[in-house]
Structure 1
Amino acid sequence: SSSNSSFSRELRDDLVHSSSHTASNKAQILTMPQFNLRDNLIKCELLKNEDQYTYLEDFSIFLGTYNVNGQAPKESLSPWLNSTVLPPDMYCIGFQELDLSKEAFFFNDTPKEMEWTNAVGRALHPDAKYALVKLVRLVGIMLIFYVKKEHAEFISVVEAETVGTGIMGRMGNKGAVAIRFLFHNSSICVVNSHLAAHIEEYERRNQDYKDICSRLQFRQLDPTQPPVTIMKHDAVLWIGDLNYRITDLDVSSVKELIDKKDFETLHRIPLLFLQFHFKDVKFMQHQAEAFTITNDGQVPCQFEFITKPNEPTYCKPWLTANPPKGFIAQGASVDVELEVFVNRSTAPKLNSGAEEIEDILVLHLERGKDYFIPVTGNYLSSCYGTSILSLCNLKEPVQEMPQETLRKLVSAEMSLGENAVSTEKPLDIPKELWMMVDHLFRNAIKQEDIFQQPGLRSEFAEIRDCLDTGIPDSLPGSNHSVAEALLLFLDALPEPVVPYSFYPQCLENCSSASQCEKIISMLPRCHENVFNYLAAFLRELLKNSASNRLDSKILATIFASLLLKSQKKQDLGEKRKTQEFFHHFLVQGPS
């Protein structure tokens, strides 16, 4: 209940977050169109003298949300949007559950967007003229931003982003949409969120809130610049399942400019020799370490992690420095966080031993020296990101196998294909896959919204550790967490259940059930076994659709995207064909 209270406090009316910045820490969040010392020194001087050339103005913002439960507008919204005597300067109107149809959920396409947008436009305050600045939508979560026409010229740098927190952290039935903009001299971010319902789901809501804050990032016009997170704004307005309110906002405006100056003095930054070791790195488990850069020199300076020769980025894909570049005022400090996170893209090579947690960051100081920061760690191999064939040849849990044995097995598999089997008879399917499906078959065959409601990340970690170590024998966590763990397992496979080489044939023959069945019979034996095993399990789920509320189209949409993948980005037509292909195996068993 304490977590629930904490979350409630964070999301009530005082979530209108106005932050005041000192010159030193505000310098850390400046956008930098170019890594140019002269320009940034000027910005630093402007910040130090900010009070001399800026003043605050009050503006009113109408913040409102409406959970429409998939309905079309049936009556005027004027009583809601015209509830104030004076017309507000801005409107930020959010919607939840705009469209509950399967088409909207899986294809993000809905006629309701235009219907509700028009309803809002017709109902704005009649005593002012408004301009539509931006609209952003993720499935049924939508945010519309209007501003009085006389203020439009002072709006700039408008960006919109979305983040889904549904199944596998992607599907947009839950999540948030956001719009950021610069109004006069203040940066503002508006967030509309739709989180898990019911009191007992407070832990899930807390997790979603943290995910939204960390994952929702706005790309900058300069692609070399780091993205801007929600809280890196002068004001954050958060709405979601609230009614409405009028908020007064202090906005900084420029009243005069100071002259540019040249700065030729040198700077120095004391930085002790640093090295970082991350212990027991696991699949999809964040680890972070931080250090501080302090500028005790005579002038401001800037830093940047630079790329090494013949490498595309400044660090390995499993490593991130935040911020990767920045500007430090004289006498100020900045905290840099190094984060390690192994995902489905980086896990395969780490599992096989082809790569290790090892990198060297080069921290460059403008007009200064370079510092070399070694980053090492030990990675605990996982069934996540290990191939079907390798897992079928491993009788013991992954972490009980010597790394060298796993490496040789994967190397042999890559060179010999299906013939790369051990001298013993391989398993029919990976034991890890069997454990998850067996758990769901015994416990979740009638579970409502199975494979549609996400689980908890903490429970996924327990499930992953259980599969990788074999301890305990039964899986922990809720049915929804086990279901999501199964989807993540399929998503992380280096080669999908239907190998990439078979993908074109699947698209060409998707309308013929007999041809689809023939293609599956041609797969490598362990891949064929996994495909048929999953299809048989899903058909059992459909027999209990009255309880679990599943249908064949939902399952085809979810699983086709995991079992039949393209090495290139799929278009909408391809996605529909993969769903048609897999749908044959849900409505009828193999002949």
Structure 2
Amino acid sequence: MPGSGTGTGNVPMAVKSTLDIVRQRFKEDEIVHYIFEAYQIQGQEYLDRLLALVSSESGGTYAIIAFSYLRTPLTTANELIINKVFALNESFQLRQDGKGSITTMQFDLSTAEDRPIKYYYYPLKSQEYEEFVAKVISCKNSMYKCDPEAVLNFSWLNDYRQIGEVKQELKKREAEYIVYKDIIIYCATWNVNNKPCCDSNSPLRSWLACSEKSPDIYAIGIQELDTPTKAMLNSTQMQATVEQWTQKMVESLYPGVEYEVLRSVRLVGIMLIVIVRKQLRQHILRCQLNSVARGVLNTLGNKGGVAISLQLHEGNICFVNSHLAAHMGYVDERNKDYNAIVEGMRFDDRRTISDHDHIFWLGDLNYRIQEPPGQQRPGPLTDAQTYELLLQYDQLGQEMRKGRCFDGYTEGEIKFRPTYKYDPGTDNYDSSEKQRAPAYCDRVLWKGTRIEQLAYDSIMEIRQSDHKPVYAIFRAKIKKRDEIKYKKVQEEVLKAVDKRENDNQPQITVETVSIDFGRVRFNEPSMQDFNVYNNCPLPVDFRFKEKDMHDICEKYLQVDPRQDSLMIDSARSIRIKLLVDVRTVGNLLKKIRTSDNFDILILHVENGRDIFITVTGDYQPSCFGLSMETMCRTNRPLSEYTQEQIKHLMRDESPEYQVTMPREFFLLIDYLHRQGSNLEGCFNAHDSRYSLGGHFNAVRDWLDTWSNEEFPGNVQTAAQALMLLLELPEQSLLEPFVEDLLASSSKSKAMDYIALLSAPKRNVFMHLCMFLREGILCQYYDLQQVALIFGRILLRGSSSSSRMDYNSRCIQFMRFFIDSDISDSALGNGHASGSGNIQAKSSTSATFSSSQSR
């Protein structure tokens, strides 16, 4: 693909055009630094990917955007589909496989929210890959080098985080499979004024167990946790303080229910803890936490917020506990604190507070009662009418109505006294010199749909702090999947998306995906034609794909054309030729043993999906290509066997033979033996056997039917057929002892190995040698020539065949058995025990005919 592995410097025009197209996919203040071509492997498919290294000027951060694309060269930015987004944050990793791995041309990209995703690059792209890696490392280092503690802004990536087409479609159809489950949520907040948890005057149960029904989830926020300077400097002491509060709260929850702490988060004196019913824990799929520090110089953390995000079933819930700026006149500072928490709170999965279905914000918000000018503080605060009057001057309500904070949030009706400021240990408002005005500092607000507030109150009897604790109880309807309905919708979506992908990809229609050749016979060619059509609005290129680094098809098949182009609304005829001959019969028989098909062709459409075409047929078994053992397992002519039956005989490894030597072999030997002097010159050059004409098929049928008619050929065709019977089986006749026999220095040594052969192989070999020896004695053919021809046939497959002395070794071995001048031992002695009816006689036919009835 043009443009891969190229930076933004001086580049060739073709690369620039691709880079310009990629740039069009981003905003003006986002810079594409580098693009690199890679691919992924899914099953047996290779999926092209384009990795773009991009930065945002506003965010000052980098990311890798992985694109998929339908075709090359690219013409528009719309052809680029975002496949994955990797922020170069602290958790980002680019891991390269070591040199000792299966392949060094692969690497993984990962972040905290994603498992490692494997990519590959092409060998010719090695240099570009090294440049890409160096660039990525440099960009990441540059972000963290200046200020390692800086909170980096990756929010610009939200526009590019796609959840995938399937997920998008499922999201659209949520109404068809989503049901709602009622969950009772108990939110509680208390500014404890740095008082220790162990104070006996803090009956937390009256604060945390007020609901009529047992809560499913507790979110408890504390501000001004006991954090003396000494404790802040001692993490162990600080942790002990947190554990004391946690234990006290767990002991004070709704009685008779088993709860467990889900997570807690603390920022100096601000702590939030989420506790859930034990049975609910298994349905919480994700839980993350974060904090935003405010206060002195906006970094000390004595003010700010902490949050916990979780997913329950299909619903996303966020709890926020905050402590905002204090004092009557600091309204703007409180608003700024709120907005800083909203903008700065980012969870590990890049969600913001607003990216949740249900948000509960609690804490000491510190908004006061703005006393009207010229009016004195109200008298005793004892009834709802007084509270309503006070709330008219509540700063939080005023700021919310002006849209300056908590936009979109709701607060329940307040029917309780202001929660601040009290003289500790009493229910009296501040009697100190400052005499701070009463205020509703401690609040609980919510945002989202399907939320109903059941209770909202304070606890007056807890007097430990100068604040009163507050609680709010909600019934929230949480989204949950109906699994049966979901599976049905999911299947429909998958089919629809798959159809759309197919419609948007280059594709061709194939007339048939199953080519059946019917009856197939040895040495008889046949062919089948089928058409392919282009029904796309664009021209389409296609080709038959190579399989396993070999050819596009088996050796007995030919495909024409192997590749071509189809214009719009055009068709092309493809011809498949099949010929099972002396060069390919071994391949077909091997295929028959292991498969039910002759072959599967892969028709590859450029930038589209592969089409698989099955080639089948019914092979009529023939003696040519079968092993001697297989033929000895038959009890009737091969013409009467089916392909499936011969498959079982080829797979059969049992030594149960119907005869001791194939009848087809005997028929040829018997015919040749009776020709006498006509045998002169019948065994010529070894390669002449490959020239088979149509007349040879009559010989094939004569052998495969065990015909009683006269032999339909002549001496030359019989000799040719004999050599083919020995040459065409996958394994040579003298296997597995070929190497040992070639190394044998005497006939007696060779006979030791011959005696170890299977009975069919041993008998064929001995009978053949008797026949050849007799012809040599009668001077029908040359000893050296026959020894070389049959030696190379019987000893084929040897690793020594490339050696200079291979031919001489073949001749030497054969002369042990067909040269009458070599008499280490007579044919038919004890070395050839088990040879059955074969005896050393000049007339072999009479002996064999009497014992092997047909």
**Greater relative contact order (Cα 8 A, min sep 6): structure 1 or 2?**
1
Shorter-normalised TM range:
0.3 to 0.5
Q: Give me the TM-score of the superposition, normalised by structure 1.
A: 0.47
Greater helix share, structure number:
1
Answer with 1 or 2: which has the greater Rg: 2
